[in-house]
Amino acid sequence: MAEDYVELIAELIETRGEARPVEIAERLGVKPPTVTKNISRLKAAGLVRREPYRAIFLTDAGQDLAEICRRRHRVVVAFLLSLGIDEETAERDAEGIEHHVSGTTLEAFERRLNQK
């Protein structure tokens, strides 16, 4: 959960200027109360900083995690695409697969991408 959230928050800040619960809910396909609760957990975990009713920010730890996750996400999607999988499917599968790809496997994916 945390991985998808920080990944998305970083992306929203980058593309929209700020991360709002309503956007997060839409993008993740969950309802606003779910986002509120999960953001609280991220805050408790030291990954985000935020005041009630205000936008959401990443802490340094959150930014670090987001960086790792976004990079990994990109690699997994690129790898699936390189196998001839359509974009829809690549994105959908990557969203789940990414959370189970070890550093070793990620490197293997990258190696394969570079040598083509």
Partner DNA sequence: GTAAAAAGTTAGACATGGCTAACTTATCTA
Partner DNA sequence: TAGATAAGTTAGCCATGTCTAACTTTTTAC
- Contacting positions for a copy of itself (CB under 8 A): 80, 83-86, 89-90, 92-93, 95-97, 99-102, 104-105, 108-109, 111-112
Using DSSP, state whether 50 is helix, strand or coil: coil
Could you tell me the smallest distance in angstroms from the CB atom of residue 5 to a copy of itself? 18
Closest listed residue to residue 10, CA positions, set 52, 42, 53? 42
Pair 34, 41: CB distance under 8 Å? no
Based on the shown chain and the rule CB under 5 A, indicate whether residue 4 belongs to the binding site for Mn ion: yes
- Out of a copy of itself, Mn ion, DNA, none, what residue 21 binds, judged by CB under 5 to 8 A for its kind, is DNA
- The residues binding DNA (CB under 7 A) are 1-2, 20-23, 28-41, 52-53, 55
